[in-house]
């Protein structure tokens, strides 16, 4: 592979947007542009017969076919696969599609592949999640990458790009309010690198939660006169309703951003067909409890780190949602320290990652992206789904590698049963109360099993499905017998009845085509 000597590529794969920055051998830093913007939308689109689209292409395609759009693949990193339209796609492939878009643009600008690639990730991510990220980077054609925690990259930006004095042993607090989550870390200068003294976060607090406040304001003003319209916006089924929901949440995000610059903003509510006004004062009053939580977490993290006020060199705000003026006000009021705010906080992490290593500090050892393969379960729960999710839920049961084995085990158990037990619905009932108790018990097991399957408490094939297939078979046998008799057959071989019942039970568990 032809590489551009001395050129480094830093990538910050975010919940809503992805940022990529190039640094040449002379130290000049240039953000990559995607559709004339340094922010590449992290959303992806997959149609039945198309490749995975990214950025503005994905957004436009999602307007026409909402079920194929996934706005936040980063939030789905623990799920393995997701349903988009009529396809089940590995989350790794969705992340790889975004990173591949970055790789192609970097190669176009440089004329060759960058010599080194740095990819950032949340400090709270465990090995399972970083393995997925590394696998996606390899699949995207980025090769061997260096994985760097986002707060370390932010600290490098604070000390190197901004030139803030950070003596040996002093610390910086990084407050990162992104679209999906909030993270805070305290890092101490150690030689040419940084030691993480403490880190914490809130998985249920991010920019989308502030967007929710904007929508809630509009709902409060209009819901009584438009109950049906809000029902369609909250629970869209038709494509037109899904598009309307997308329009609403996009507008809410724009209003939130406008209120960081102006005293008021207007939100158009589709389907309701009204425009409502929200002032900054109203927004900050609603946002205060949420942002107060983040400030308390930042304060607690500082205390856990054991850093004195005199040893804290600065408080650095990163993440697009940190632009909200109330964030800096609450931090200043609580910590007694004026935060450092930059014009484009979204670029800080990607840019800072390029100032680690030989050019500006001690970087972590490079992590080669391993070949895709089985991975251990994630070590923590992922963040909650954002309110603007529009794609339909996947079927409750999907095909996995263990499905054939489970079906075979269930069939064997049923076929090995004595005939008088297998035909319990017909024969045991004739044996009096004991037979009735048996049949009622089987029906209860079947009912509970199907209820568990629908609520996804039986997440994948296992012995729970074996029991469910067996009990369903026992309940289905009488129906098969009655069906045959209705067709004019006076006698039915037990093996035939059992076989048909098994087919009904197993067939019912096979994945159905997801409804639009």
With beta carbons less than 8 A apart as the criterion, state whether 334 and 310 touch. Answer: no
Closest residue by Cα to residue 71 from 85, 87, 55: 55
With beta carbons less than 8 A apart as the criterion, state whether 112 and 104 touch. Answer: no
Q: Which of 127-141, 181-195, 252-266, 390-404 has the lowest mean pLDDT?
A: 390-404
Q: Which of 61-70, 99-108, 173-182, 185-194 has the highest mean pLDDT?
A: 99-108
Cα separations in angstroms, 317 against 161, 278, 371, 513: 14, 25, 36, 46
E strands, 309-466, in order: 312-318
Instruction: Give 228-249 as a DSSP string.
Output: HHHHHHHS--SHHHHHHHHHHH
Closest residue by Cα to residue 71 from 88, 51, 54: 54
What's residue 393's pLDDT?
35
Mean pLDDT on 311-335: 94
With beta carbons less than 8 A apart as the criterion, state whether 199 and 123 touch. Answer: yes
How many alpha carbons fall within 13 Å on the CB side of residue 159?
Answer: 30
What's residue 169's pLDDT?
85
Instruction: Give 102-145 as a DSSP string.
Output: HHHHHHHHHSSEEEEEEEEE-TT--HHHHHHHHHHHHHTT--SB
What's residue 190's pLDDT?
84
Rounded percentage of the chain residues whose pLDDT exceeds 70? 68
With beta carbons less than 8 A apart as the criterion, state whether 95 and 136 touch. Answer: yes
List, for residues 481-508, the tens digit of each pLDDT value. Answer: 555 555 555 455 666 666 666 665 555 5
The answer, yes or no, to whether residue 330 has pLDDT greater than 90, is: yes
What's residue 458's pLDDT?
42
Task: Give the distance, in angstroms, between the CA of residue 511 and the centroid of all CA atoms in the same chain.
Answer: 23
The answer, yes or no, to whether residue 262 has pLDDT greater than 60, is: yes
Helix (H, G, I), strand (E, B) or coil at 94: helix
List, for residues 164-213, the tens digit of each pLDDT value. Answer: 888 888 999 999 998 888 999 999 988 878 999 999 999 889 999 999 99
Provide the token pair at 173: 């607090």
Residue 370: how many other CB atoms lie within 10 Å? 11
| Residue extent(s) of CATH 3.30.420.40 domains in the chain | 1-162+342-391, 168-340
Q: Which of 39-48, 108-117, 455-464 has the lowest mean pLDDT?
A: 455-464
What's residue 49's pLDDT?
77
What residues pair up with 3 in beta bridges, in sequence order? 113
Rounded percentage of the chain residues whose pLDDT exceeds 90? 53
Q: Which residue has the higher pLDDT, 6 or 503?
A: 6
Helix (H, G, I), strand (E, B) or coil at 279: strand
User: What angle is formed at CA 202 by the lines to CA 123 and CA 251, rounded to 5 degrees?
Assistant: 110
Q: What is the mean pLDDT of the chain?
A: 79
What's residue 138's pLDDT?
96
Mean pLDDT on 416-431: 45
| Residue 340 phi, psi dihedral angles, 5° rounding | -90, 120
What's residue 25's pLDDT?
84
3-class SS shares of the chain: helix, strand, coil, % to 5: 45, 20, 35
Confidence band, pLDDT 50/70/90 cuts, at residue 63: confident
Residues 6+ apart with CB under 8 A from 345: 317, 318, 319, 320, 322, 323
Q: Which of 273-282, 356-365, 390-399, 440-449 has the lowest mean pLDDT?
A: 390-399
CA distance 403 to 299: 49
Provide the token pair at 103: 């790789």
Residue 451 burial (CB < 10 Å; 0-12/13-18/19+)? Answer: exposed
What's residue 204's pLDDT?
87
What's residue 403's pLDDT?
46
Fold adopted by 1-162+342-391? Nucleotidyltransferase; domain 5 (3.30.420)
What's residue 86's pLDDT?
83
Mean pLDDT on 335-341: 92
User: Residues, the chain, total?
Assistant: 516
With beta carbons less than 8 A apart as the criterion, state whether 3 and 25 touch. Answer: no
CA distance 94 to 126: 20
With beta carbons less than 8 A apart as the criterion, state whether 86 and 315 touch. Answer: no
Instruction: Give 388-419 as a DSSP string.
Output: T--SPPPPS----TTHHHHHHHHHHHHHTS-H
Provide the token pair at 319: 């993440």
* Phi-psi domain of 412 (left: phi exceeds 0; alpha: psi -120 through 50; beta: other): alpha
Residue 140: how many other CB atoms lie within 10 Å? 24
Terminal-to-terminal C-alpha distance of the chain: 43
What's residue 466's pLDDT?
62
pTM higher than 0.75? no
Q: Which of 252-266, 284-298, 341-355, 440-454 has the lowest mean pLDDT?
A: 440-454
What pairing do the DSSP bridges indicate for beta strands 29-31 and 17-23?
antiparallel
Considering the domain 168-340, what is its CATH architecture?
2-Layer Sandwich (3.30)
With beta carbons less than 8 A apart as the criterion, state whether 241 and 271 touch. Answer: yes
Mean pLDDT on 231-251: 92
What's residue 451's pLDDT?
52
Confidence band, pLDDT 50/70/90 cuts, at residue 150: very high
Q: Which residue has the higher pLDDT, 106 or 447?
A: 106
Closest residue by Cα to residue 61 from 391, 514, 515: 391
b/e code 459-490 from CB counts within 10 Å (16+ = b): eebeebbbbbbbbbbbbbbbebbeebeeeeee
Handedness of CA 283, 289, 292, 294 (dihedral sign): negative
CA distance 365 to 146: 7
What's residue 193's pLDDT?
85
If you search the block for the tokens 């369903």, which residue do you land on? 472
Residue 492: how many other CB atoms lie within 10 Å? 19
The answer, yes or no, to whether residue 400 has pLDDT greater than 70, is: no
What's residue 295's pLDDT?
96
The 3-class secondary structure across 340-353, one letter per residue, is ECCCCHHHHHHHHH
Q: Which of 25-29, 178-182, 460-464, 475-479 has the lowest mean pLDDT?
A: 460-464
């Amino acid at each position: 592979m032809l590489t551009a000597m001395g050129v480094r590529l830093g990538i910050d794969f975010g919940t809503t947007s992805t940022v990529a920055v190039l640094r040449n051998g002379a130290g000049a830093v240039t953000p990559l542009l995607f559709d004339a913007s340094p922010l590449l939308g992290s959303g992806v689109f997959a149609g039945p017969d198309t490749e995975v689209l990214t950025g503005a292409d994905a957004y436009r395609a999602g307007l026409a076919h909402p079920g194929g759009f996934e706005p936040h693949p980063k939030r789905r990193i623990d799920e393995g696969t997701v349903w988009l339209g009529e396809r089940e796609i590995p989350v790794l492939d969705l992340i790889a599609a975004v990173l591949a878009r970055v790789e192609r643009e970097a190669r176009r600008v440089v004329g060759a592949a960058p010599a080194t690639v740095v990819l950032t990730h949340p400090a709270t991510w465990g090995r399972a999640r970083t393995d997925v990220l590394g696998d996606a980077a390899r699949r995207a054609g980025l090769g061997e990458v260096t994985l760097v925690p986002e707060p370390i990259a932010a600290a490098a930006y604070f000390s190197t790009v901004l030139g803030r004095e950070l003596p040996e042993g002093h610390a910086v607090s990084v407050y990162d309010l992104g679209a999906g989550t909030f993270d805070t870390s305290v890092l101490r200068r150690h030689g040419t690198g940084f030691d993480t003294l403490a880190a914490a976060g809130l998985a249920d607090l991010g920019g989308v939660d502030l967007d929710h406040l904007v929508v809630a304001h509009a709902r409060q003003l209009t819901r009584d006169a438009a109950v049906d319209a809000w029902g369609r916006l909250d629970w869209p089924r038709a494509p037109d309703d899904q598009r309307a929901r997308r329009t609403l949440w996009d507008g809410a995000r724009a209003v939130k951003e406008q209120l960081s610059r102006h005293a008021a903003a207007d939100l158009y509510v589709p389907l309701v067909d009204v425009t409502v006004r929200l002032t900054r004062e109203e927004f900050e009053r609603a946002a205060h409890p949420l942002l107060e939580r983040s400030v308390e977490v930042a304060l607690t993290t500082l205390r856990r780190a054991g850093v004195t006020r005199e040893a804290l060199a600065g408080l650095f705000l990163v993440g697009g949602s940190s632009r909200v003026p109330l964030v800096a006000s609450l931090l200043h009021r609580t910590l007694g320290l004026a935060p450092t705010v930059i014009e484009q906080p979204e670029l800080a992490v990607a840019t800072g990652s390029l100032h680690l290593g030989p050019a500006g500090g001690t970087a972590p050892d490079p992590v080669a992206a391993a070949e895709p393969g089985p991975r251990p379960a994630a070590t923590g729960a992922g963040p909650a789904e954002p309110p603007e999710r529009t794609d339909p839920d996947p079927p409750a049961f999907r095909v996995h590698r263990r499905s054939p084995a489970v079906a075979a085990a269930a069939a064997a158990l049923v076929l090995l049963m004595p005939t008088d037990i297998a035909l319990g619905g017909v024969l045991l009932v004739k044996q009096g109360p004991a037979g009735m108790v048996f049949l009622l018990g089987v029906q209860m097991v079947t009912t509970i099993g199907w209820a568990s399957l629908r609520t996804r408490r039986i997440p994948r094939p296992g012995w729970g499905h074996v029991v469910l297939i067996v009990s369903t078979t026992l309940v289905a046998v009488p129906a098969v017998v009655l069906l045959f008799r209705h067709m004019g057959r006076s006698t039915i071989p037990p093996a035939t009845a059992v076989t048909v019942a098994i087919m009904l039970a197993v067939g019912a568990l096979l994945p159905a085509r997801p409804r639009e």
